[in-house]
Amino acid sequence: MPMKLLGERIRELRKAKGLTQTELAGAELTKSMLSQIENGKAEPSMKTLRYLADQLGCEPGYFLEGEEADLAELVQTVRGLEKQKDYEAVYELLQNRAEVMRSMNVDAARLLEMLATACIRLNLEGAEEAVAGAVRIYERFSLYRESTQAKLRLDLKLVKEERFQEWHELLQEVRSYYEKHTVAQDILLELKIYYQEMLSLLAIGEYEAGQELLLRTLAFSEEHETYYRADDLYRIAAYHAIAYGDVEAYERYTTRSEQYAAFTDSKRSLGSLELVRAFYCNEVKRDHEQALRHLESYCRMLEPIDGLYQLEKVERGKALYHLGRIEEALESLQDIAIPEGMYHPLDHGWLRTAGAYRALCYEKLGQQSQAVKEIEQTLREVRKLPSSPYKAFIQETASRLGAQ
């Protein structure tokens, strides 16, 4: 193997382990010699290679595998396709590379991870097998952070298939695995696990536990000044404050969300915050004119193709209904669809309230049979969703309209 590639592999594994050059060099090497080896300017002896392998928790043969250069180039190609979300091209490129990816090196594991994601995105079989293969390779080299991240790739599959209890169990298993095997703390990875676990708790209707983990995640994020999904966390916290009628908490979290959005200069974050405020005005303040003003502000900031636009239409229809502008409300509430990539049952519940408001609009217009038809269809759509304020509202509307 060329010295440059050998050195790159040593450096890559050292960084993955969270070691400095001084720590890896230890008593056997000088930092200068290790630097030359990593930069391809010196060739290590077999004794040195064995020492480095012991320090890094792998076998010397790992550094000498001849397929590495080809796989490294393939990894870069596939990463580019993954960034473009061209999952069909990823799958096409990797599905016939099984023999190549059986080589036990880290690049093969990375390719297996990306194959798993392509399978999930395209609703194809093979994701679990690919992840299991990646984990086996990472564990061979004691790369437990990487194996934890590989396991997390399966969460999207379970969410897409609405297997929310299994999603929650997977995240608990992943967290336990990470805590058992990881020596050096990875703040960003921990935040990712806790964020997903919080969402899974909300998905199965464990709202108090989800709220508690949400607040712990926010505190952990602020303590370590690592703001992974901070704007999402603040907005979710604000929505919960609205649900519980905690005005003080709502104001605190919307303020923090606004500060973060201004700091990152994110139009999406600022626009999404306007949707939170409209929701608050509709649900708590009952100031529906103000809700419409916030929604107009939202529309000025974000394109209507944005996934949140469907939620904006629901809140607009709700405000117009309460203002007695029934025909306008009914127009806004038509053609509400679940956007691509919006999988959480609480978001689905929120969107389905459009059906309840359509039914109420038809009732106001004196079209009772159409009102009952709308609410019965909506009841069928939310039947499998967990209990939530949205589902409760739909059920109460059905009872009021005398639907079955």
pLDDT in tens, 366-397: 999 999 999 999 999 999 898 888 999 999 99
What is the identity of the amino acid at 72?
Answer: A
304 vs 397, higher pLDDT:
397
Superfamily of domain 3-64: lambda repressor-like DNA-binding domains (1.10.260.40)
d(CA 60, CA 315): 61
Kindly report the CA angle at 153 between 91 and 265, in degrees rounded to 5?
Answer: 100
229 vs 192, higher pLDDT:
192
CATH 1.10.260.40 residue ranges of the chain are: 3-64
Q: What is the CATH number of domain 303-404?
A: 1.25.40
pLDDT at residue 293 in the model: 97
Mutual orientation of helices 144-152 and 127-140 as an angle, nearest 10°?
A: 170
d(CA 360, CA 372): 9
Cβ-Cβ contacts under 8 Å for 239 (sequence gap 6 or more): 276, 279
User: What residue spans of 225-287 are helical by DSSP H?
Assistant: 230-243, 247-264, 267-280
What mean pLDDT, rounded, does the chain reach? Answer: 89
pLDDT at residue 352 in the model: 96
Token pair for residue 221?
A: 């994020």
What is the identity of the amino acid at 228?
Answer: Y
CATH 1.25.40 residue ranges of the chain are: 303-404
C-alpha distance from residue 329 to each of 207, 318, 354, 365 (Å)? 31, 7, 10, 12
pLDDT in tens, 353-365: 999 999 999 999 9
Mutual orientation of helices 187-203 and 164-181 as an angle, nearest 10°?
A: 160
pLDDT at residue 180 in the model: 92
pLDDT at residue 2 in the model: 52
Instruction: Provide the CA 326 distance to its chain's centre, in angstroms.
Output: 37
